[in-house]
Amino acid sequence: MFRILLQYLLPLILPALVYLAYVAIARGGKVDRLGEAPWLPLAIAGVALLAVSLVAWGLTTGSPTDEVFVPARFEDGRVVPSTTLEPEAQ
């Protein structure tokens, strides 16, 4: 659940949180007239930040590209989960 919040929800709402914090600091702690906030640019910035974070997450995690993927299979009536093998272990 924490990974979902960190990976998807936080990048979407971070621009709005930063904007609201800036407005609260600039106005001395009063945040009123939220209808006048630039919601479309904030939403676009959130989607762009989400896309950048997902691309970065995909490029920096996972198995090395030279490993061989062995899919899940049945052995003796049991399901053996998928694994990756190092190149010399093929």
The pLDDT mean for the chain works out to: 87
Asked if residue 13 is part of any domain, the answer here is yes
The pair phi, psi for residue 78, each rounded to 5°, is: -120, 150
Global confidence as pTM: 0.65
Asked if residue 46 is part of any domain, the answer here is yes
Report residue 20 as tokens: 């609201």
Asked if residue 86 is part of any domain, the answer here is no
Asked if residue 40 is part of any domain, the answer here is yes
Strands (E), the chain: 68-70, 73-75, 78-80, 83-85
Query: Over the stretch 31-75, which tens digit does the pLDDT of each residue have?
Result: 777 788 899 999 999 999 999 998 998 888 877 788 888 999 999
**Total structural domains within the chain:** 1
| pLDDT score recorded for residue 6 | 80
Asked if residue 68 is part of any domain, the answer here is no
Asked if residue 70 is part of any domain, the answer here is no
Range of the domain at 10: 2-63
Asked if residue 39 is part of any domain, the answer here is yes
